[in-house]
Structure 1
Amino acid sequence: MPEGHTIHRLARRHKAMFAGHEVVATSPQGRFAEGAELLNGRVLETTDAWGKHLFHRYSGNLYLHVHLGLYGKFADGPLPAPEPRGALRLRLEGAGQYLDLRGATRCEVVTAEEKAEVTAALGPDPLRPKTDPTPARERIGKSRVAIGALLMDQHVLAGIGNVYRAEILYRHGVNPYIPGRELEPAVFDDMWVDLIKLMQAGVRAGRIVTTDPEDRSRRSGRATKADSYYVYRRTDEPCRRCDTPIAHAVMVARNLFWCPHCQPAL
């Protein structure tokens, strides 16, 4: 599932492609025919992202709300667009470009009030400017739930997925199984600042890199794919800092990775 940096990057791209232009909206698959009809002929005014939720705002104060889920994908390019194939939920055309959406968990037209209801249920997003992390800190500080599960709860923190979950816990030496209420508030604050830095870098690069240069096999230049993570998908491989084999388990139905030495249980 795409993590928050991908959704923010898509929001920027779609704004650059269509903002200020009228769009032709169709649903070749037919499942979004009514929504496409509502958007057809409207001007895309701006875009927004909150966690894993993407919004387009159109003239008339209507919003396209998309959550990609596990299988959703966007594709775009210059006009003329290719012949529609397969389950093409939505196609937008305008300003000499096209945008295709397939497989999204949610694709709907909503009002401003309905958009506000969606975002009100989400936790703070590290990529949104001037976001106050206090609600997340307080919710975590009162919870008996494992911090590894809390970080995956979009009502607690928005935009954090499996990669950022594993990597931010490693970078701050936090065992994923400790209850949220046992996490020191100062450690949460450090994690929040680090998430902002890592996720902003992810938006710029279009990829997640969480390792510091001194912990990579190649210490200069662009990080290779193999050098991008500390623990994610590195089961039984040696920790980059202590050589302990990376552990693996399943938490909240997702694979979890950590270093038992660098992230000891309390």
Structure 2
Amino acid sequence: MPEGHSVHRIARQFARNFVGLPVHASSPQGRFAEGAAVLEGREMLQAMAVGKQMFLEFEGDTWLRVHLGLYGAWDFAGEILVDPTIASANGRMGQTNQRGTDLDGVILDDAGENSLTSIGAPRKTRVHVRMSEQTKGLADEDAEWPPPVVGQVRLRLLTDATCADLRGPTACALQTPDEMLATVAKLGPDPLVGDPAEGEERFVRIVRRKPTAIALLLMDQSVVSGIGNVYRAEMLFRARLNPHTPGRDVPEEVVRQLWRDWVRLLAIGVETGQMMTMDDLSPEQYRAAMASRDDRHWVYRRAGLPCRVCGTEIALEELGARKLYWCPFCQR
């Protein structure tokens, strides 16, 4: 499931390529035909993300709410306006160098994606990009326009130069302004929405009164927005916190540490497009991490392997119907 950084990046791409323009809307699959008919020809006014949900505002007091869920993705094609905070030269959204690390050259990760170079000044490029947890590369410059519909496309949004196809979302629905606000009100704080300090206080209040295990609370989108399975495992390890600890038993300073770590990791994820959770890497280690997902995390997907800190075998269990990775020694 795309985590919060991916959804913020998608919203930014819509802001650059669709906001301020009239949009043609259709539902090739047919499941959103009525909604597409309402959106047809309307100008997109705003694109925003809150946690794992995205909201697109159209003229006429109409909002489109999209939750990608486990299998959803946006495919962008056409002339995509990109800059160093949004995409790299090969079309991947948001590939930039690690802050404070001077690295040159091109590194392709194990998905064949350029993970280190950025493209410099904003420009337009003709690309085809998959926006979910994974992305694809450049499309043929001479490809048919608009691109042919491939597979089950729930919603196609189209301008004169850019196409966005939505596939497999958990939710795709029109909302009134009041309905949109009610949806957002049910979500936990997002560091990139509103005042992060206020978000921290809200997060601390909620967690400190709950008897629920902290590992479940971090995945509860009404407690905090945007954290998924990867960030959950990594944040708990970085805090050296036992995932089964009830929220109300977690010391306040540790709860605050979790929030501030989420602020930092989310910013890195939006900037780079990758869930880089390891710190203080040498240039060589950073290049390795960009080239292989296996080198980006402390515990996630490392079940049975030695802990990078203490050597204890990383444990894997199921909690809340999701896989939980943690170190039984470091996180006692």
Structure 1 contact 18–95 (Cα < 8 Å) conserved: no
Aligned to 2:67: 67
How far apart are the structure 2 equivalents of 1:38 and 1:202? Answer: 34
Deviation of the 1:85 alpha carbon: 2.7
Helix, strand or coil: the match of 2:289? coil
Question: Is residue 28–residue 88 contact of structure 1 (8 Å, CA) maintained in 2?
Answer: yes
CA deviations on 1:4-35 (whole Å, 9 max, x unpaired) are 00000100011111111001000011110111
Deviation at 1:219, TM superposition (A): 3.2
Q: What percentage of residue pairs aligned between the two structures are identical?
A: 43
> 1:238 & 1:218 partners in 2: Cα distance?
21
Classify the secondary structure of the residue corresponding to 1:91.
Answer: strand
Could you tell me how far apart the structure 2 residues matched to 1:262 and 1:50 are?
A: 32
Counterpart secondary structure, 1:249 = strand
**1:15 matches 2:15:** yes
1:177 maps to amino acid: H
Distance in 1 (alpha carbons) for counterparts of 2:318 and 2:283: 28
Q: Find out whether 1:173 has 2:225 as its counterpart.
A: no
Matched, 1:219 2:219: no
Measured on the aligned residues, the alpha-carbon RMSD in Å equals 1.5
Output the amino acid matched with 2:331: Q
Q: What's the CA shift string for 1:66-87, capped at 9, x where partnerless?
A: 0000111100111712221321
Pairing of 1:156-235 with structure 2 (within 5 A):
156-214=223-281, 218-221=284-287, 223-224=289-290, 225-235=293-303
1:143 aligns with 2:184: no
The answer to whether 1:118 aligns with 2:183 is yes
* 1:21 counterpart SS class: coil
SS of 2:285 mapped into structure 1? coil
Give yes or no for contact 1:209–1:229 (8 Å, CA) kept in 2: yes
Greater relative CO (CA pairs within 8 A, separation 6+)? 2
C-alpha separation in 2, matches of 1:126 and 1:178: 24
In structure 2, the residue matched to 1:97 is 162
Residues in 1 aligned to 2:43 and 2:229: alpha-carbon distance in whole angstroms: 36
* CA deviation map 1:195-214 (0-9, x unaligned): 11111110111110101134
Cα–Cα, structure 1 residues 240 and 137, in superposed 2: closer, same or farther, change >3 Å?
same
Gaps of 5+ in 2: 80-144
Counterparts of 1:18-97 in structure 2 under 5 Å?
A: 18-78=18-78, 80-97=145-162
Shift of 1:129: 4.3
The one-letter code sitting in structure 1 at the alignment partner of 2:299 is: V
- Deviations 1:161-213, CA, capped at 9 Å, x for gaps: 00110000000110000111110111111111111111111011111010113
Contact 2:203–2:259 (Cα < 8 Å) also in 1: no
CA distance in 2, matches of 1:210, 1:108: 33
Distance across 2 between alignment mates of 1:166 and 1:126: 19
Count of residue pairs brought into register by the alignment:
263
Q: Distance between the aligned counterparts of 2:239 and 2:223, measured in 1? A: 19
Paired residues of 2:77 and 2:147 also in contact (CA < 8 A): no
Give the corresponding residue for 2:327: 259
Please state how far the C-alpha of 1:44 moved relative to its aligned partner: 0.6
